[in-house]
Amino acid sequence: MNVLNRMNCHIRLLTVAILLTISALKLSAEEKGDSVLTFRFFSGRDMFYSPALNNEVELAKLFSCVDQYKEKINDHKLSLHVDGYSNSKASDKENLRIAKIRSNRVKSELITRKGLKEDNFVTHNHAEQGNFVTVRLFIPVEELLPSIEEPAETPVVPEAVDEVEEVIVAEEPASAQEPESADQSELTEPAPTSEVAENIVSEGNKIEHFALKTNLLYYAALMPNVQIEWMFTNRWSAALEFQGAWYAKEDPHKVYRVSTLMPEVRYWVIDRSRWHGMYVGLFIGGGLYDLCNGKTEGHKGEGGLAGISAGYMWPVSKHLSLEAGIGLGYMQLRDKVYTPLDGHFLYQYTKTINYFGPLRLNFSLVWRF
C-alpha cells in the first residue's frame, strides 16, 4: 500500500506540473502572437488612413491595451515597440525615410489621443518586407500567471477504497485559453465581454466626420452664415454653405437682403492629420439680392458663380479649429434697377454684370463633431 500511495502522489504532482506547463506555454504563445498589431499603409504612401485597411480595429485593440497598462508604461516598466517597414521605393534610403514617417504617424495617434510621450516607445525602421507598421507590448509572463501554492501534504489513501481519487487542479486562467479567432483576441489580455468590447470599439472609432463652421468676417457685414462639411475620406470632403441677411425699413425704403447657397468639394493637399492641413477646392453657387439705401436707385436680381478655393485649417482644441481661405472665380448677375417712390418701385432697366476675381474670403471658427 505504501508503494500505491507513493504512485498516486507522484501521479497527482505530475498532472499538476503538466497542466501548469501547458498553461504557461499557452500564455507565452498568446503574448507573442496577440501582442503584435499591424497598421497597413498604401504602397508608396506615408499617410495613415485610420478608417481603411482594418486600421480602426487595430487602433481599438491598441488603445484598450494601453489603457490597461498605462501606469506601467508611464513608469517606464513597459515599452511599446514600434517597427516601421517600407519596400516600395527604389532605394533603401528612401524606404527608411518612408518607414520612419509611418512609425511617427502611428505614434502620434497614441501621443495625441492617449497622452503618451516619445520616451514610451522603442522605435526601429526597416527597408524591407512590406508597407506597414507593427506595435508590440511585451508583458512578462509572470504577470499573467496566477500564483501557485505548494501542494499540501498528500493524505494517506484508505486501504479499502478501490475508486480513483479525484485530483483537484486550479482552474486554468482565462487569459490562457485559446481565443476563438485572431480578430477577437486582445493584446495579452482575456477576451472582453460584449459590453466591454463595444466600449473598446467605440473608443477606437472616435473619428470626426463632420464640421460646423461660421465665417467670422461676414459678421462685419451683418451677414450670418453657416457651413457644414463632411469629410468622407482623409483626403476628400464636401461642404455646403449658406449666407443670409434679411433687413428692411419701409420709410425711407432701405433694404439689405442677400441670400446665397454654395456647395463645395475639397481635396486636402497637405494632410497632417484629420481636419488639419492645406486644401484646394471647387465651388459653385447661386443666390438673390435686393439692395437699396433709400435715397438713390435700388438693385434687385439673382446670379450664379463658380470658382476655385484654397485654405488652411489648424486645430486649437479637442473639437475646435480655425480655418483661413480665399476663393477666386467668375460671377454673373442679372441686375434689375428700380427707383423707390411714395411706397412704389419704378422699374428702370435690366443689365447683366460679369465679374472675375476674388469671390470669397473666410476666417472661420470650426466645430468638429
CA dist., res. 179 & res. 191, Å (int): 7
Nearest to 139 by CA among 64, 25, 37, 28: 28
Report the pLDDT averaged over residues 155-173. 45
What is the widest separation between alpha-carbon atoms in the chain? 127
In Å, how far are 271, 299, 308, 363, 365 from 325, measured between CA atoms? 16, 29, 11, 7, 12
Distances (CA, A) of 218 to 78, 130, 360, 368: 52, 50, 10, 21
Q: What is the pLDDT of residue 177?
A: 44
| Percentage of the chain modeled with pLDDT above 70 | 70
pLDDT at 168: 44
Residue identified by cell 485654405 is 311
The CA–CA distances, whole Å, from 304 to 5, 52, 134, 280 equal: 99, 38, 51, 21
d(CA 146, CA 149): 10
| pLDDT score for 214 | 96
For residue range 283-328, list pLDDT tens digits in order.
Answer: 999 999 999 887 778 899 999 999 999 999 988 888 899 999 999 9
Q: Which of 25-29, 44-48, 281-285 has maximum average pLDDT?
A: 281-285
pLDDT for the residue numbered 248: 86
Compute the mean pLDDT over every residue in the chain, rounded to the nearest whole number. Answer: 77
What's the mean pLDDT in 148-158?
A: 49
Q: What is the pLDDT of residue 149?
A: 47
Average pLDDT score over residue span 92-97: 89
More confident residue, 264 or 345: 264
Q: What is the pTM of this model?
A: 0.48
For each of the domains in the chain, give its residue range(s) and CATH number, in order of start. 36-138+196-204 (3.30.1330.60), 210-368 (2.40.160.20)
pLDDT of residue 14: 62
What integer pLDDT is reported at residue 3 of this predicted model? 52
> How much is the average pLDDT of 255-279?
86
Query: Is residue 60 within 8 Å of residue 40, measured between CB atoms?
Result: no
What pLDDT score was predicted for residue 195?
Answer: 41
More confident call, 92 vs 174: 92
Q: How far apart are CA 183 and CA 174, in angstroms?
A: 17
